Amino acid sequence: MSAPHDYLIVGAGLFGATFARRMTDAGKRCLVIDKRAHIGGNCHTKMAEGIHVHAYGRHIFHCNDEGIWAFVNRFAQFNSFRNAPIAIARGKVYSLPLSMYTFHQLWGVTRPAEALQRIAAQRLDLQGREPANLEEHALPLVGRDVYETLVRHYTAKQWMREPRELPAAILKACRFA
């Protein structure tokens, strides 16, 4: 007697669901199980008053591969989305990622050269040594004002530790660093 399934897939998140779909398309029989009561794993959304709510945090789809784009469009309709985050720090609103808007909000400057001058005057000089922690990695890059306003408290909140207690590698992975 042949087995009822070719694959038992544990987890109905993006990986499990994609694998199951591709194997099913290839004629295999798949059984997908999940310990959660829903599919989609961390990307799961639920409907609340006609709105898709991301149960585990918001997700944005980035893709420049036509094959993947065609594949996902078999199952979902995508909205066009522009990511325009802002930060509220010390009672003021700042535009992110860092741009001339941010520098104007911080210092009132209107030209890139003025912003660079401000940052240069505040940069920590490590005199050639490697940064020992996240704070030492950030200060030579962005200077004291940007660090204190937009990096330090946000990082401490996210990691529940002061940046000087965190490894520099965390920030090295970030785009602005």
Ligand X SMILES: Cc1cc2nc3c(=O)[nH]c(=O)nc-3n(C[C@H](O)[C@H](O)[C@H](O)COP(=O)(O)OP(=O)(O)OC[C@H]3O[C@@H](n4cnc5c(N)ncnc54)[C@H](O)[C@@H]3O)c2cc1C
Residues at the site binding ligand X, with contacts judged by CB under 6 A: 10-16, 33-36, 41-43, 56-57, 59-60
Residue 170 phi/psi, 5-degree rounding, is -60, -45
> What is the rounded CA–CA span in Å between residue 138 and residue 141?
5
Nearer to ligand X, 105 or 155 (CB): 155
In whole angstroms, how close is the CB of 45 to ligand X at the nearest point?
12
Nearer to ligand X, 40 or 163 (CB): 40
In whole angstroms, how close is the CB of 60 to ligand X at the nearest point?
4
| Partner residues linked to 86 by β-bridges | 95
> What is the rounded CA–CA span in Å between residue 37 and residue 44?
11
CB 158 within 8 A of CB 146: no
Nearer to ligand X, 72 or 156 (CB): 72
In whole angstroms, how close is the CB of 136 to ligand X at the nearest point?
28
